[in-house]
Amino acid sequence: MAAVHPWSGKARPRRVIPGFGLSLGYTLAWLGLIVLIPLAGVFAKASGLGLAGLWAVWTEPRVLAALRISFGTALVAAAFNAVMGTLVAWVFVRYRFPGKRVFDAMIDLPFALPTAVAGIALTALYGPTGWLGQWLEAAGIKVAYTPLGITVALVFISLPFVVRVVQPVLAEIETELEEAAATLGASRWQAVRHVVLPTLWPAVLAGFALAFARGVGEYGSVIFIAGNLPGVSEIAPLLITIKLEEFDYEGATAIAAAMLLLSFALLLVINTLQARLQRTGKRAGG
């Protein structure tokens, strides 16, 4: 039965899910307190420098190098995990093997492990005298205190994001469709390419976006293995910390604002591509 508007006397349709207005109000208020107001505070503090001051900070060679290292290593690590994380999820979903539950639980260790502990462990492993680092350096490959070491740390902490996003989507894909494609003469790769991947691409991109977002702002696991050499292995979060220790709050917030703008632009592109792939997959499925 439709409710009657108290002023117009006209009947208005009853919502299927009640309480939308109150829920939306709580959502917007909580989102504003937790996300929007802090972000607005960053831009408000950075605006004290003026456009000329902001541009001067953003174009400093040290700042540009730190931003390039942070975003470059995060993109490489996220792309690597998009491939390897999908492969790991495929193995966990499609195969049975001894110790599967143990390995599946180990994927979540980077979530529970303190990032500083991860950084110390990776430095001990890949350092010049580490178990693997000494052999790699003998082969001419230096991992610790280079961008490669930063990428290794980001791969470690962001792998679970891809696996946990792709795994449930892959589990819902009906294997009968692949079997039907095989009966029609399709090879294994053709079945995966034309049946599985169109459905899986949005989830892979979502995992890539989460891994990238985590990697850009990562500090604890990177700070030890990076070496923090300006222009070589200094990341933007560390440079922000240095600015804060020097009481250069406006400079720190200027770098933070640059990271926010670049992250938002890249995530917007990724989400747009993800939405297009979802629409393409629905049209293909329809």
195-220: per-residue pLDDT in tens? 777 788 888 998 999 999 899 988 88
Max CA separation in the chain (angstroms): 85
Least confident of 15-24, 65-74, 111-120, 121-130: 15-24
Q: How many whole angstroms separate alpha carbon 178 and alpha carbon 187?
A: 10
CATH, range 50-285: 1.10.3720.10
Mind listing the pLDDT tens digit for each residue in 217-226? 888 889 889 8
Q: How many whole angstroms separate alpha carbon 27 and alpha carbon 16?
A: 19
Least confident of 115-124, 137-146, 167-176: 167-176
* Helices within 19-60 (DSSP H only): 20-31, 37-46, 50-58
Return the residue matching tokens 């001419």. 140
| Mean of pLDDT values over 123-133 | 88
Element (H, E) at 59: none
Q: Record the tokens describing residue 104, joined without a space.
A: 């599946």
Distances (CA, A) of 141 to 87, 122, 148, 180, 222: 26, 15, 9, 47, 19
Helix axes 115-126, 147-172, angle to 10 degrees: 120
pLDDT at 21: 74
pLDDT at 83: 93
Spans of all domains in the chain: 50-285
pLDDT at 201: 86
- Mean pLDDT rounded to a whole number for the chain: 84
123 vs 184 pLDDT, higher one? 123
Distances (CA, A) of 255 to 17, 151, 227, 243: 44, 21, 20, 9
Backbone angles phi, psi at 92, to 5 degrees: -65, -35
pLDDT at 35: 82
pLDDT value at 186 more than 80? no
Return the residue matching tokens 């222009």. 231
Residue type, 29: A
Return the residue matching tokens 């503090």. 45
Q: Record the tokens describing residue 219, joined without a space.
A: 């500090």
Residue 32: count of CB within 10 angstroms of its CB: 12
Q: Record the tokens describing residue 133, joined without a space.
A: 């680092």
What percentage of the chain reaches a pLDDT higher than 70?
86
User: How would residue 273 be classed by pLDDT, with cut points 50, 70 and 90?
Assistant: confident
**Count of CA atoms in the C-beta half-sphere (13 A) of 48:** 11
